[in-house]
């Protein structure tokens, strides 16, 4: 099979998988268009990747995977005091907030040195750690609530002053955190 045909076939297979993970339909479509389409691999094999991606997506959304078997690849990272069931290190039923300290102070109890430098990011300076972090667990690294690549855009929808530069670097696939520290910095804009 020529390379072009092979690539076309791949595209069609992918499209087919996106619409429905029904390899028979996919095979019908492709074999109508091309001669010499190889016989199908087993359904499970063909759909495994697709399903795995779906499961990971679902688990990340729910933040609570259904069964161990479904999530062989999803690593849910837990906060040590939560994983060790030291709930009372943070929770106190007798307080109005239900927490040992108000929401904007609780994280500093065990992370007193998280702000180390002169320039401090707005939400960090007011103790709004929970805007970005989950206190218990997350499917993202560093207990982040959303994927790191989507995090900054949750709040930063305003137009950049350095707009064309940002457009260029983000189009090239760089992440905001490649250049900016999320917490603080010695330089303006917490540049690394």
Q: Tokens for 156?
A: 């930063």
Quick check: 161 binds ligand HEC (CB under 6 A)? yes
In this structure, are residues 109 and 103 in contact, taking their beta carbons and an 8 Å threshold?
no
Radius of gyration in angstroms for the set of CA atoms belonging to the chain, rounded to a whole number: 24
Query: Of 24-32, 40-48, 64-72, 81-89, which part binds ligand HEC (CB under 6 A)?
Result: 81-89
Q: How far apart are CA 125 and CA 32, in angstroms?
A: 62
Tell me the closest approach of the beta carbon of residue 189 to ligand HEC, in angstroms.
4
Tell me the closest approach of the beta carbon of residue 134 to ligand HEC, in angstroms.
8
Quick check: 62 binds ligand HEC (CB under 6 A)? no
Q: 190: closest CA among 121, 115, 96?
A: 121
Using CB under 6 A, which of 10, 54, 156, 167 touches ligand HEC?
156
Phi and psi based region of residue 137 (left: phi greater than 0; alpha: psi -120 to 50; beta: remaining): beta
**Site residues (CB under 6 A) for ligand HEC?**
77, 79-82, 85-87, 89-91, 99, 106-107, 109-111, 114, 121-124, 127-133, 135-136, 142-144, 148, 151-152, 154-156, 160-162, 166, 169-170, 174, 176-180, 182-183, 189-191
């Amino acid at each position: 099979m020529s390379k072009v045909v092979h690539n076309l076939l791949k595209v069609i297979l992918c499209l087919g998988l996106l619409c429905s993970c029904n390899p028979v339909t996919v095979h019908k479509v492709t074999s109508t268009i091309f001669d010499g389409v190889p016989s199908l691999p087993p359904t499970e094999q063909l759909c495994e990747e697709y399903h795995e991606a779906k499961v990971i997506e679902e688990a990340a959304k729910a933040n609570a995977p259904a069964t161990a078997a479904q999530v062989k690849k999803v690593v849910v990272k837990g906060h040590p005091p939560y994983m060790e069931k030291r709930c009372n290190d943070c929770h106190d039923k007798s307080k109005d907030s239900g927490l040992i300290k108000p929401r904007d102070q609780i994280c500093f109890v065990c992370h007193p040195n998280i702000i180390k430098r002169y320039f401090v990011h707005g939400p960090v300076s007011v103790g709004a750690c929970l805007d970005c972090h989950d206190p218990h667990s997350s499917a993202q690294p560093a207990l982040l609530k959303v994927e790191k690549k989507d995090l900054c855009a949750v709040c930063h929808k305003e137009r950049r002053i350095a707009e064309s530069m940002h457009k260029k670097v983000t189009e090239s696939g760089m992440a905001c955190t490649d250049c900016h520290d999320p917490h603080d910095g010695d330089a303006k804009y917490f540049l690394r």
